[in-house]
A and B are shown apart, each in its own frame.
Chain A
Amino acid sequence: MTPIYNYINRRTFLSNTGLSFGSAALLSQLVQAQEGVSTYPGLSGLPHHKPKIKRVVFLCMAGGPSHLETFDFKPQLNKLNGQPMPDSFTNGQPIAQLQGQKLKVQGHLTRFQKHGKSGQFISDYMPYHAKMADDISVIRSMVTEQINHDPAHTFMNTGTAISGRPSMGSWINYGLGSESSDLPGFVVLTSVGGRNPQPIASRQWGSGFLPSEFQGVEFNSSGDPVHYVSNPAGVDRNHQNALIRTIRRLDSQRNKLVDNPEIATRISAYEMAFRMQASVPELTDLSSESQKTLDMYGAKPGDGSFASNCLLARRLLEKGTRFVQLYHRGWDHHGDLDKYMKICCGLTDKPTFALLTDLKQRGLLEDTLVVWGGEFGRTPMFQGKGGAGRDHHIKGFSMWMAGGGIKPGLSHGETDELGYNAVKDVVHVRDFHATLLHLLGINHHRFSKKFQGLDMRLTGVEPAKVIKEILA
């Protein structure tokens, strides 16, 4: 059995390359690390081409934000408000909760205006997004294949509705390795606020058949970010180091005998955990952030809000975390859409603007990709759980991307006159994955892992294409 990948041991690396400690600034993370500590450098042969971005932050508006109250303006929808939804749209189409009910058109619940030089339509619910009109590239023609939350999230994260496949953050770290020696390469933070928060399974950031060291690590957004991050009373860092070193040596000896990749994973997890005991308190100590920055995000340290998570995301990206995913759980607006759009946008609109602005000001946006979107959109048809709302919808919805390699201020694709079907430049979730990998320097056709006799890929075997039109 061959090892799943080769670690670079600090000493081996230094002796093989003949680098001295002084000249190897590039290896600072290895040099400062403890004896024997290794960082995974990614698969050999990757990247396939010159990457445009190094890192990704995915702002997941969990629950399925309405494209018809955010980005997708359809005058015809307002004209037909209250009238029966034409059968030509809905016959034979999958429907979540409105099955068997009389379908009628629900007009936009707010006004849309053109913003910026690009003149992108953005709704009045999102005044801070309006300011970003010339920075973001809005895809108005997304489609997915799953109409309920959990499978739709699974589809968005793994490219399939079958549970247990690796999520995109795991794929990316498996392919490219981590840029941080003391924080995980894939971190997840969640926040709530809005209607009836849907649960998010930790499976959504699972690594599937990839080694489990590539799974996402969820940080708690309030309280201790990581449970038991401190040493027990009476144990200082040197003492803990001696303990971890002994565990590493004994586990390594064992692994020589049984050669189990999960022991290798465990050894690296223990090393990472030890380094995180120092790095996590530093990461979440926001005292070095100016009041101006805190105000820009609207973040109160430790409040667990989307705003605080955005600020933590920036700090993680700055420290080399490859893939950060923020879930804001509250967008499942079957009813009282107006009320809940105000709540959800109130909690997420400004922090999103702050994150983009902050990344830009620090020069990070040019090699960072920011993605905004949910697991699906919402129906042009009325649903009335409480006040006017909308049901789940998968045939057309909006997402946006901004940052490195993305043409700013672009509107890409269109839905039909009622915002039901994506009709022009349709973008499937697989196309999004192909584009994401492309920006990271990876050809999705050639990025696979053997599993159960198949060459498994994030983009699967069905057609997937890079969205060339949105690339800068």
Chain B
Amino acid sequence: MLVKEKRERLDHIFIIALNRSPSEEERKELGELFTYAKSDFQKNPDSAKALINVGLSLAPENLDAVELASWTTVTRAILNLSETTTRN
């Protein structure tokens, strides 16, 4: 299970994208993805920095790169869902 803060953050992202709360199953899938991403980026902090600097806007320096990159992976998943990009 996600700790409370992570769960709130995940729910917040999910609601912004999909206008509904995630199901327990969806929370579990995305939580596992976050855990994987974080362990991967902890092992490769340069990769985390590289990912969060893709695009024109630079990542704020006061944010933890590994944490931000891990959430980036989670948001990539959410933004790529069929439900996000189509009406159903």
A residues apposed to B, CB below 8 Å: 232-236, 238-239, 242-243, 246-247, 249-251, 253-255, 258, 260, 262-263, 266, 270
CB distance from B67 to the nearest CB of A (A): 14
User: Which residues on the B side are within 8 Å of A247 (C-beta)?
Assistant: 77, 80-81
Q: Given the known inter-chain contacts A243-B77, A250-B29, please indicate yes or no for A233 contacting B50, CB distance below 8 A.
A: yes
Q: Given the known inter-chain contacts A234-B51, A249-B29, please indicate yes or no for A239 contacting B82, CB distance below 8 A.
A: no
CB distance from B63 to the nearest CB of A (A): 15
Is the CB of B83 closer than 8 A to any CB of chain A? yes
Q: Given the known inter-chain contacts A249-B29, A253-B25, A266-B82, please indicate yes or no for A235 contacting B36, CB distance below 8 A.
A: no
Alpha-carbon separation in the docked complex, A239 to B32 (Å): 12
Task: Establish whether residues B50 and A250, one from each chain, have CB atoms under 8 Å apart when the complex forms.
Answer: no
User: Which residues on the B side are within 8 Å of A255 (C-beta)?
Assistant: 82
Residue contacts A-B, CB under 8 angstroms, 22 given: A232-B51, A232-B54, A233-B53, A234-B46, A234-B47, A234-B52, A234-B69, A235-B47, A235-B51, A235-B73, A239-B37, A239-B40, A239-B73, A242-B37, A243-B33, A246-B77, A247-B77, A249-B29, A251-B82, A251-B83, A260-B88, A262-B86
Alpha-carbon separation in the docked complex, A251 to B81 (Å): 6
User: Which residues on the A side are within 8 Å of B53 (C-beta)?
Assistant: 233
Alpha-carbon separation in the docked complex, A243 to B41 (Å): 14
User: Which residues on the B side are within 8 Å of A258 (C-beta)?
Assistant: 88
Binary contact readout B5-45 vs A (1 if CB under 8 angstroms, 0 otherwise): 00000000000000000010110011011001100100010
Binary contact readout B45-88 vs A (1 if CB under 8 angstroms, 0 otherwise): 01111111110000000000000010001001100111100101
Closest to B81 in A: A250
B residues apposed to A, CB below 8 Å: 23, 25-26, 29-30, 32-33, 36-37, 40, 44, 46-54, 69, 73, 76-77, 80-83, 86, 88
Closest to A263 in B: B82
User: Which residues on the A side are within 8 Å of B51 (C-beta)?
Assistant: 232-235
Alpha-carbon separation in the docked complex, A337 to B29 (Å): 63
User: Which residues on the B side are within 8 Å of A239 (C-beta)?
Assistant: 36-37, 40, 47, 73
User: Which residues on the A side are within 8 Å of B77 (C-beta)?
Assistant: 243, 246-247, 250
User: Which residues on the B side are within 8 Å of A254 (C-beta)?
Assistant: 81-83
Alpha-carbon separation in the docked complex, A188 to B65 (Å): 41
Task: Establish whether residues A234 and B37, one from each chain, have CB atoms under 8 Å apart when the complex forms.
Answer: no
Closest to A245 in B: B33
Closest to A235 in B: B51
User: Which residues on the A side are within 8 Å of B52 (C-beta)?
Assistant: 234
User: Which residues on the B side are within 8 Å of A236 (C-beta)?
Assistant: 47
Closest to B50 in A: A234
CB distance from B29 to the nearest CB of A (A): 5
User: In the complex, given contacts A239-B40, A250-B81, what are 13 additional A-B residue pairs having Cβ atoms less than 8 angstroms apart?
Assistant: A233-B53, A233-B54, A234-B46, A234-B54, A236-B47, A242-B33, A242-B36, A243-B73, A246-B30, A247-B77, A251-B81, A253-B25, A254-B81
Q: Which of B25, B32, B40, B46 contacts A238 (CB 8 A)?
A: B40
Q: Interface centre among A235, A238, A266, by most B CB within 10 Å? A: A235
Task: Establish whether residues B49 and A234, one from each chain, have CB atoms under 8 Å apart when the complex forms.
Answer: yes
User: Which residues on the A side are within 8 Å of B26 (C-beta)?
Assistant: 250, 253
Closest to A232 in B: B54
User: Which residues on the B side are within 8 Å of A243 (C-beta)?
Assistant: 33, 73, 76-77, 80
Q: Can you list the 3 inter-chain pairs with the closest CB atoms, starting with the nearest?
A: A234-B51, A234-B50, A234-B47
Alpha-carbon separation in the docked complex, A25 to B40 (Å): 34
User: Which residues on the A side are within 8 Å of B50 (C-beta)?
Assistant: 233-234
Alpha-carbon separation in the docked complex, A55 to B25 (Å): 43
Closest to B28 in A: A249
Closest to A264 in B: B82
User: Which residues on the B side are within 8 Å of A270 (C-beta)?
Assistant: 80
Alpha-carbon separation in the docked complex, A377 to B52 (Å): 55
Task: Establish whether residues B47 and A246, one from each chain, have CB atoms under 8 Å apart when the complex forms.
Answer: no
Alpha-carbon separation in the docked complex, A253 to B77 (Å): 14
User: Which residues on the B side are within 8 Å of A249 (C-beta)?
Assistant: 29
User: Which residues on the A side are within 8 Å of B49 (C-beta)?
Assistant: 234
User: Which residues on the A side are within 8 Å of B48 (C-beta)?
Assistant: 234
Closest to B25 in A: A253
Alpha-carbon separation in the docked complex, A258 to B87 (Å): 11
CB distance from B28 to the nearest CB of A (A): 10
User: Which residues on the B side are within 8 Å of A238 (C-beta)?
Assistant: 40
User: Which residues on the A side are within 8 Å of B88 (C-beta)?
Assistant: 258, 260
Task: Establish whether residues A246 and B40, one from each chain, have CB atoms under 8 Å apart when the complex forms.
Answer: no
CB distance from B22 to the nearest CB of A (A): 9
CB distance from B13 to the nearest CB of A (A): 13
CB distance from B68 to the nearest CB of A (A): 11
Q: Interface centre among B49, B53, B76, B86, by most A CB within 10 Å? A: B76
User: Which residues on the A side are within 8 Å of B37 (C-beta)?
Assistant: 239, 242
CB distance from A252 to the nearest CB of B (A): 10
Alpha-carbon separation in the docked complex, A383 to B88 (Å): 54
